[in-house]
Amino acid sequence: MGRKYKIDEIIRILAEARLPHNTIAGICRKYGISENTFYVWRRKYGNLNKDEAKRLKALEEENRALKRLLAEKELEIQTLREILKENF
């Protein structure tokens, strides 16, 4: 399993790849990432500055937490409905 890069590192790698003397293959070798990973990063973070990328990451984490909370509440509701069915 590869190294997990921070948002500011990803932004720096993408900026380095835009320099005229660098190739995407060379950047991928240098940082030990696949070209697929590079293109995923570029699609996701390519037009963002460091602060915007960090905000996006924070929003994604908040969204995951909210989805998990919603799933737990839905499970509680389903359990309560089953209990009510058994009692009536």
Q: CA–CA separation, 16 vs 9, rounded Å? A: 10
- 62 within some domain: yes
pLDDT tens per residue across span 20-47? 999 999 999 999 999 999 999 999 888 8
The stretches of the chain forming alpha helices (DSSP H) are 7-17, 24-31, 35-45, 50-87
Residue 34: predicted pLDDT: 96
CB distance 48 to 56 below 8 Å: yes
User: Domain span at residue 66?
Assistant: 7-87
d(CA 30, CA 20): 16
**Is residue 15 in some structural domain?**
yes
Question: Do the domain assignments include residue 2?
Answer: no
Residue 66 lies in a domain: yes
Considering the domain boundaries, does residue 33 fall inside one?
yes
**CB neighbours of residue 53 within 10 Å:** 21
Which of the two residues, 71 and 85, has the higher pLDDT score? 71
pTM of the model: 0.64
Q: Tell me if 1 is assigned to some domain.
A: no
pLDDT digits (tens, 9 = 90+) for 48-60: 888 888 888 899 9
Tally of domains in the chain? 1
Examine residue 30 and state whether it is found in any structural domain, yes or no: yes
**What pLDDT digit, counting tens, does each position of 10-20 carry?**
999 999 999 99
Residue 17 counted as domain residue = yes
